[in-house]
Amino acid sequence: MHKTNTGSMVLATASQAPRGEFLSKRARALKVSPTIAMSQRAGEMRADGIDVVNLSVGEPDTPTPMRIVDAAHEAAKKGHTRYTAPDGHQRVKQAVQTKLLRDNKLAYDLNQIGVVSGCKQAIFNALAATIDVGDEVVLIAPYWVSYADMVTYHGGTPVVVTAKQEDGFLPDIRDIAAALTPRTKWVLLNSPNNPTGAVYPCALLRQIGDLLAQHPDVMVLSDEIYEHLTYDGAEFVSFASALPDLKDRILLVNGASKAYSMTGWRVGFAAGPAWLIGAMARVQSQAAGSSNMIAQFAAVEAMEGDQSDLQVNRQVLKRRRDTAIQILSKCTRLGVCPLGGAFYIFADIHKCLGLSTADGRVIKTDSQMSDFLLDQAHVATVPGVEFGCSPYIRLSFAVDDDDLTRACNAIVAACNSLKLPDGADQI
């Protein structure tokens, strides 16, 4: 028996000996998505009877609104249970078209819209359709865990620009300019940002637009999945609506998961030039045929129906964010500050490095810190290294209020329990 990197046990018998060499080099190089791996570890501990609070994977704890569930029932009863076109049923594409016009003042034709199994798959398909070996994709760190692995999987090279904490985790335009080369295919942006919560102001988007006007072969992939989750008056601006002149060089990706508590339904979409949406549909036609038709019809209701849930969700999440910040900021070993969007806190843990646990382990990395919090505080988090930025840990606050309070208090207690290692005068 051996342990996989997800922590789950895999039986190896003589007839099922590990045959790693059979796997492609790309698959061998691919790790499990760290958010999913950490969430699985938390699940296994729970199965063993340990009361773990899972702040690792980012998904709203609130149920999918009943109007959307009812729409899915109706769709199934009406026989909307078949394959659709690879880029989605006409009806859901119309709903995306309506949503983009209503929320973002962006007009797209239906052949400029593709609906697939989640925003994640839209990004994957876009990279599959465009990346050749050696092509470069500019990522802004801290970046979502899957971007770099997806780029590498398709033979591309991630080129990382770091957005600094002292700049509110917003990138410096000069750093983006310096990262562009003749091999650059994409600049991948994500606002509101996972994991920091930073919301890119319109002025920054315009700076990026001015820069890209000088690089006509570069496209922007704008991941806008946290669009509806902003607080404190932070204003979300879709990249394409800030830069209408660049619209045909922008691939906007978004989906139903975060705004409508529909993570498990797997509905995401892309909007961009028809030639690219068509190429992504060819990828989808070979990989999955189409996404789930019942879920597509549920998403029609999500996007076209009563939108008042969004405001309620925002209020609940803001309250939770403030609770978490208030508790965590009592610990001087943690650096936390509220940013304007998404549902994560990206806590600076540099003051915990070099300190020792009760059993004498010295915390040297944010991965070790995350492991320590799981073992000691029974709280699952994701280390900053997975987002290309250390030493931090990411916590999701899209969980039940009591669990969140308990988890944050346990994190503070665990951090405060760390000691100077034996013999050290100071850190």
At residue 356, φ and ψ (nearest 5 deg) are -115, 140
Query: Per CB under 6 A, which region of 73-81, 108-116, 140-148, 214-222 contacts ligand GLU?
Result: 140-148
Amino acid at 82: R
Q: Which residues does 320 contact at the CB level (< 8 Å), separation at least 6? A: 343, 397, 398, 399, 401, 404
Give 32 or 325: the residue with its C-beta nearer to ligand GLU.
32
Distance CA 63, CA 134 (A): 43
Cis peptide bond N-terminal to 244, omega within 30: no
Instruction: Name which of 259 and 355 has its Cβ closer to ligand GLU.
Output: 259
Closest CA relative to residue 193, chosen from 260, 143, 149:
143
Residue 335: exposed, middle, or buried by beta-carbon count in 10 A (0-12, 13-18, 19+)? middle
Q: Residue 31 region, left (φ>0) first, then alpha (ψ -120 to 50), else beta?
A: beta
Query: Considering only 67-75, 144-152, 158-166, 264-272, which stretch makes contact with ligand GLU by CB under 6 A?
Result: 144-152
Q: Binding pattern to ligand GLU, positions 111-130, x when CB under 6 A?
A: ---------x----------
Cβ-based nearer residue to ligand GLU, 184 or 196: 196
Question: Least separation, in Å, of the C-beta of 57 and ligand GLU?
Answer: 4
Tell which one of 42, 45, 58, 227 touches ligand GLU (CB under 6 A). Answer: 58
How many Å apart are CA 194 and CA 148, to the nearest integer? 14
Report yes or no: 122 and 116 within 8 Å, Cβ to Cβ: yes
The pair of three-digit structure tokens given for residue 80, joined into one six-digit string: 């909307």
**Angle at the Cα of 255 (from 128 to 36), degrees rounded to 5?**
70
Q: Shortest approach of ligand GLU to residue 395 CB, angstroms? A: 11
Q: Which is nearer to ligand GLU, 40 or 194 (CB)?
A: 194
DSSP H or E run through 215? none
CB of 31 to ligand GLU, least distance (A): 12
145, 150, 170, 327: which one contacts ligand GLU (CB under 6 A)? 145
Both structure tokens of 328:
């965590």
Binding window for ligand GLU (CB under 6 A); candidates: 22-30, 86-94, 141-149, 334-342: 141-149
Task: List C-alpha distances in Å: 384 to 34, 142, 172, 195.
Answer: 11, 8, 20, 9
Q: Is the Cβ of residue 209 or residue 383 nearer to ligand GLU in the bound state?
A: 383
Q: How far apart are CA 66 and CA 5, in angstroms?
A: 37
Q: Which amino acid is at 408?
A: C
Task: For residue 57, state whether it binds ligand GLU (rule: CB under 6 A).
Answer: yes
Query: Please, which residue, 54 or 296, has the CB nearer to ligand GLU?
Result: 54
253: three-class secondary structure by DSSP: strand
Tell which positions 148-207 bind ligand GLU, by CB under 6 A: 194
Q: Please choose, out of 3-11, 16-24, 142-150, 265-273, the segment that lies near ligand GLU by the rule CB under 6 A.
A: 142-150
Q: Which of residues 27-56 bind ligand GLU (CB under 6 A)?
A: 33, 35
What gap in Å lies between CA 315 and CA 318, rounded to an integer? 5
The CA-to-CA distance between both ends of the chain, in Å, stands at: 41
Nearer CB in complex with ligand GLU: 297/344 = 344
CB 370 within 8 A of CB 387: no
Minimum gap (Å) between residue 98 Cβ and ligand GLU: 25
> Least distance to ligand GLU from the beta carbon of 323, Å?
20
* Part in contact with ligand GLU (CB under 6 A); list of ranges 43-51, 143-151, 173-181, 304-312: 143-151
Residue 311 C-beta: closest distance to ligand GLU, Å: 22
Where are the extended beta strands (E) located within 32-112? 53-54
- Residue number with the shortest CB distance to ligand GLU? 58
Q: How far is the CB of 220 from ligand GLU (least distance, A)?
A: 20
Shortest separation between residue 34's beta carbon and ligand GLU, angstroms: 8
**Cβ proximity to ligand GLU, 35 vs 64, nearer residue:** 35
Size of residue set near ligand GLU by CB under 6 A:
9
Residues near ligand GLU (CB under 6 A): 33, 35, 57-58, 120, 144-146, 194
